Structure 1
Amino acid sequence: MIALRGGYVYLKPMLDKDEYKPSIVVEESFYKADSLRKSCQSFFACMNPSLVVSDLALDYPVISQDSSILLSEITVTGKKGRIFRDKMMGRLDSLAQMEVGGAWVCNCQKNTPHLNDYEPGFTHHPVGSPNSSYSGKRMKPQKGVKYELIRYEPKGRNGSWIVTKIKYHTWQGYDYTEEELLRMNNLWRVKGYYGTREFYQPDELDMQSPLPDARNVLLWKPDIITDEKGEAEVEFFCSDINTSFMGVIEGTDGLGNLGTSQCEFRVLKP
């Protein structure tokens, strides 16, 4: 189970007889909690007003009272790429790209080859046209190659077929979703086991260090078990940030019922 942490368990029904088409129903136990968390407000520790930097033009780096280095604002940009898949889904995607059928390329044109049957209506050999018969080799499209998509329609004089639209497409393969890949391979998956993460908590020796403690999250403990009265106690050390902190408590019982509460406390210098 440890090897499956953070990943998925894939399930495939296996039967000898082809007439049976079994399916697996997977009940996710945390879907309700996930849906509610999307609408919950996020809380962050308030900073000491004395540490707020004004909008003056400063020479960086600037070091605050707690020895933290304040960096200038940055803008993060990115470029959309193909979706990242785990090892199993990547293999399924590769197999799907190798499937025979679907889009194909004819050898009628050398410079910019025609891509056929990729989009409905776009083909160099439409059924019923004078150019419908094709005896050449049907080649598979290659990634990174630019192809021409052409559409013919019988709109010319005396019902002759004419070109009504031409566009171009650089082939990157079919963009299957993970749900489509699972359905194509008769697979189901569930999230693997994930044990509780250990959040850093300083001990008494750490608290004696002269270095400033700038933690703005004092405690995160996801594995608290209450007693028969529904009560539990936790202990933690505060940091050197003297301000108000917000506590958010969330829990569930054995029946899937959810509960949440909030509290507030202030840390003052001794």
Structure 2
Amino acid sequence: EWKEMAGIETFALQHLPERQQNLTGSVNLTYNLYPDNEPGEDAWITPLMQENKDLTVPVEFYTTEKCNWKYRNKDLQDLYGSLIKKLDKEVNIFASFAQGNQSLNLMQKTTNGHFHMITPKFYEACIVDLTGTTNGGKAAGFTEQYKKGYDDEEQYPNYYVKLDPFYPKFTQPYGFYQDLIFNKTDSGYTPQDSSTFFNRRLPVVNISNKRNGLRKLDLDKPAVVMDAYEAFNLISDYGLNGGKHDWRTFSRQLAFATVGDMGLDRRYFIQEQYDGKPLNLKINQGTDYRKALKKHKWDVQIEVPTAPDYSNSKEIMKKYRLLRYLDKIYIYTDYAPREQGSWKYAQDNQPEVIIDYRLFPNDGYQRTYRDRHYVLRGYAVCEDFYSPDYSRKPLPDTKDYRRTLLWIPEVKFDEKGEATVRLFNNSKQTVISVEAEGITGKGRPIVYKK
């Protein structure tokens, strides 16, 4: 739950601290997104985004910039939080682990919508697929039964499965500037008697502004470079979507997760770029939406005659919609949360968050999936511990940065249950402290200190 992670509500562990590798998470009901649309066309927005809940109309949803302006008083939890609903019954979680030519399938039933699964022991990277379903059966045969459509990211999963690590995803607000919510002030003067302006025609005035950024934004130095699929997993585990990629809200979700809003009303300008180029989009303003609304209902998509001009072709723009073709995401920003409301943020000194989507080079692509797909890190392999024999010359070229610490996460014992560890201390007086923890084959924990 994002409120627990942000420190707004009490944080409670769902399980004891881990003593070995495990997966813990939760399952929610998924929801259908509103129908897809072309950039520049109207998009159908869910009823909760409208002031009148009984009327659902097409609204301007061209880019993240315009969407942020139109719904500037709503955050992602306002828009999507009520749609992420808890389960009405428990489901089965199937986990598939694959590393090299080895694979293993596990199954576990949720408890109050949560699961805590002990994983097989693995080192380095391991592919993990998570699926929620009401189907029973054995985990070993689940892959064959459920593989239809599993590699199609445009299909809807049965359930929204996400991982919930035991550590908080958001840091606690720590000072005045991060807790300060910007107070909205009305600019200009409104007279008590506005009737004096009824018969006055004001001259036409052109108003323009510019944004230099608080610290002169440098597009040569991205603040964050992320793998696109890892970015999707990040915001999905944060609870910012329903486990389904939506290109129309992806930028705002990324800014919310990486820039660090912590649930507060933050002010910055979001711009989308595509391989370093902003989208040049011109909208046909001749569409009469009122006539269209009288003829169509919510569940009927309107064919709107638009004639947008693109800086990229339509075929290229469609690739940016799918994780299948997205390689990296570059995020540039000069945003400083502690300067919110400061005099420094005035006039053209407005913070910016630029999200640049990069496609795979040479028309490359990757496999994407309907359900959750992770590449998790296992135990780190300690390949080389630097402990040279100082009595022998010359010493290795590698500098010794750990002369006082030897950490062996997995000691290898011989048939007698003994292990020998050699240390060299350069003939200096040394005090050795040994601490070891382990567990017997019968599950008995052992702690040793000397």
Coarse TM-score class (shorter-chain normalised): 0.3 to 0.5
Q: Which has the larger radius of gyration?
A: 1
- The alignment's TM-score, normalised by the length of structure 1, stands at 0.34
